[in-house]
Structure 1
Amino acid sequence: MTAKWSVTKIVGDHLRTLVDDRKTRKPIRVRDILAFYGLPLLVLVLIIIPEFNFSWLAGVPGYRQLAAFRVNGLEGILSGISIYTALLFGLLVQIFQIKSRYLDNGEYSSDAMDLNDALEANVSYAVLTGIIATAYLALVLATTVKDNPAGRIPSGIIAFLVVHLLVTLFMILKRARSVYSHL
């Protein structure tokens, strides 16, 4: 990818925050990777697996309900995700202002700056995820007959993106509290 629109640094910076202690350079926690990617992937698989009609699953409790799952109200979901993404972008500006205040005053600890940098990486990643989810939802909406639910595979992908964004937002909330406690 060209450097002007490459998102690899955003993803890399976010992944580097998935450690217990950045100062000791501990490796990324597998548990965090499972939470951020495994949980949404599990939701995706559970939603799309009936598409492949594995008859041996028919006796599993909840399989029929899962087989009937489709995302409805695509317009509302698209609106919600796009608004949330815009609000996250506003939060990104706020994080920049906090860092500027730290640097201008000269009154900051390395811990506070590290937390602020981690928060910036996580919010940037959430904005990226929101942009991808918004674009995908717009594509699904454009290719789905009005007032009809999305297909099973698009429903699974939408669920993956929404769950992934929610888990990321939970981490942002926790990090924001940590940053503000260091002000």
Structure 2
Amino acid sequence: MEDHLDTFRDQRTNERRRQDYLSFYAIPTTFGIAGYLFDFKMQDPASILAGIAVFTALLFGLLIHIFSMGLRVNDDSRLPKYGNTAALIDQLQANVSYSVLIGIITTAFLIAAAAIRENNQPINSLLSAIIVTLLIHLMLTVFMALKRTRAAYQALRF
């Protein structure tokens, strides 16, 4: 997790970006709190569970691909071992690893929600709020990884 948080830096100045902390933690938490305060109750966590479980598995496959891509970049004599491209690959690996972790945690909460659900009743608003927070956080982290993928692609074009 520490390597993921270390990616919250400005590429030009290398200073930490408070906006990233707000975007990735405060915004999802705000939605979760709002859902709790407005008594939002998730109707069918099992249907979301199936999608998130598959999505997390795909993210894990992407993580393996990024690992092999990092090895290829490291072996490519045309690229500096500690240049911008290598840094982008490392950051991408950190972001996707963190996404897999959040996907697994979200999957666990959805499994618990589906297991405790009684007679097709909605789950309670607290558990719904936690799941909403995790889902939004996961999507924002995946968007960050997508942005880094694009930047790495641009850096790799010769």
Name the TM-score, length of structure 1 as normaliser. Answer: 0.80
Supply the AA of the counterpart residue of 1:78: L
Structure 2 residue 96 is the aligned partner of structure 1 residue 119: no
CA distance in 1, matches of 2:76, 2:29: 44
Given candidates 29, 33, 50, the residue that maps to 1:45 is 33
- Aligned counterpart, 1:33: 21
Stretch moving more, 72-81 or 102-111? 102-111
CA distance in 1, matches of 2:3, 2:76: 26
Q: Figure out how many residues of one structure are paired with residues of the other and give that number.
A: 154
Supply the AA of the counterpart residue of 1:41: T
Structure 2 residue 78 is the aligned partner of structure 1 residue 107: yes
CA distance in 1, matches of 2:19, 2:79: 31
Structure 2 residue 61 is the aligned partner of structure 1 residue 90: yes
Q: SS state of the match for residue 17, structure 1?
A: coil
Are the counterparts in 1 of residues 35 and 129 from structure 2 also a CA contact under 8 Å? Answer: yes
CA distance in 1, matches of 2:61, 2:79: 23
Flag as ranges the 4+ runs of structure 1 deviating above 4 A: none
The aligned runs of 1:18-167 (5 Å cut-off) are 18-21=8-11, 24-26=13-15, 28-49=16-37, 66-67=38-39, 69-109=40-80, 110-167=83-140
CA distance in 1, matches of 2:153, 2:14: 24
CA distance in 1, matches of 2:60, 2:78: 26
Give % identity: 40
Stretch moving more, 145-154 or 107-116? 145-154
CA distance in 2, matches of 1:75, 1:171: 27
Answer with 1 or 2: which has the greater Rg. Answer: 1
Q: SS state of the match for residue 10, structure 2?
A: coil
Offset, 1:154: 0.6
Offset, 1:24: 4.6
Offset, 1:40: 0.6
Q: CA 1:25–1:181 in structure 2 vs 1: closer, same or farther (change >3 Å)? A: closer
